[in-house]
Amino acid sequence: MSDAATKILSEFIDHCNYINAISDLIFYCYTGSIYEKPREILRIVEKDLSYFNKIKRLNIGSKNKAITNLRNAWYHELAFLEPIGDERENRINRMKFAPWKIIQFYYSIYSGISAMTRCINNQEKIGHKKMINIFTHNLLTRKELSKKFFVSPFCFVLNRKRVLSPAPSDVIKWSYGITDKCPILENCLLKILKKGKVSIFHYFWELRNWVNYQDSYIFRRLYGKSLKWNLDHDMHVILNTFLTLTELYMIMVFGYDKIKEDKDIFVNDFNKYFESNIENDQRLTSYINKRFEIHEDFL
């Protein structure tokens, strides 16, 4: 194995460990399958009505930009999920082009961040780093949202004093997660901390940048099926639960009927042009539909 390949392998394993720590904090802290994790998330989320009423009253965002980014989050999610299914072989097929799947994962997360940020910010153009900074400082760490709306592990931010906030013991009941998984997450954020605050969303951006500047072909030759299969599973867990919070935020701002209407239009168009001959429960959009069934249960 060449020195370049060895270096990529070492760095890739580090990234797999970071993603796995984030995923495990979801998988073992909330009950149910990947399909059912959103139900547990929505059960514990606290929705500060005064915060969302203020956003609606001030009307300083852009509804069109917010909705467009939400549709983009769904679209990139479906690209990540192709081919659909939890079966081991489908996951292996998805990860034949592992770098591209990581990028699709990132863009779905980033579009979700952008959708929420556009509810309070109407600037014409915002780059990736600035968008994540605005999201972290103006949404993620707001007292009405931090650890109440953005539940663990999405709530974690490494502050200027190099301390993970909120304290893991304040938001996690899983003892192994506190003692083993949170230190891995903290170490991940320490590696990317330069100044100010960093969140796991800054890490996802750094992960995308790392993938972009590697020799992607090496990924095809280096990694076995098991490592790719686990990475696919972990990213799927993170993505499905984070988009649950994204959709809920949008519902709180624009109303369930409006967001569901946009979801139905998106799903119907996608199924018509991409999956016209596939059964409903085998379609890529089944995960989106399932989340909205759960959203409706909690209204």
Domain boundaries, the chain: 3-253
HSE-CB at 271 with a 13 A cutoff on CA atoms is: 18
HSE-CB at 267 with a 13 A cutoff on CA atoms is: 17
**DSSP per-residue letters across 219-257:** HHHH--HHHHHHHHHHHHHHHHHHHHHHHHHHHHHH-HH
| Short-list 65, 70, 71, 104, CA closest to 269 | 71
User: What is the pLDDT, as a whole number, of residue 22?
Assistant: 98
User: What is the pLDDT, as a whole number, of residue 86?
Assistant: 65
- Report the relative pairing of strands 157-158 and 198-199 from DSSP bridges: antiparallel
Provide the 8-state DSSP code for 96: G
Q: Low-confidence residues of the chain, pLDDT below 50?
A: none
Q: Locate tokens 């993620």: which residue?
A: 140
- Torsion over CA of 174, 177, 178 and 183, rounded to 10 degrees? -170
User: What is the pLDDT, as a whole number, of residue 9?
Assistant: 81
Give 176-233 pLDDT, tens digit per residue. 999 999 999 999 999 998 878 999 999 999 999 999 988 777 766 655 667 778 899 9
Give 90-111 pLDDT, tens digit per residue. 777 788 788 899 999 999 999 9
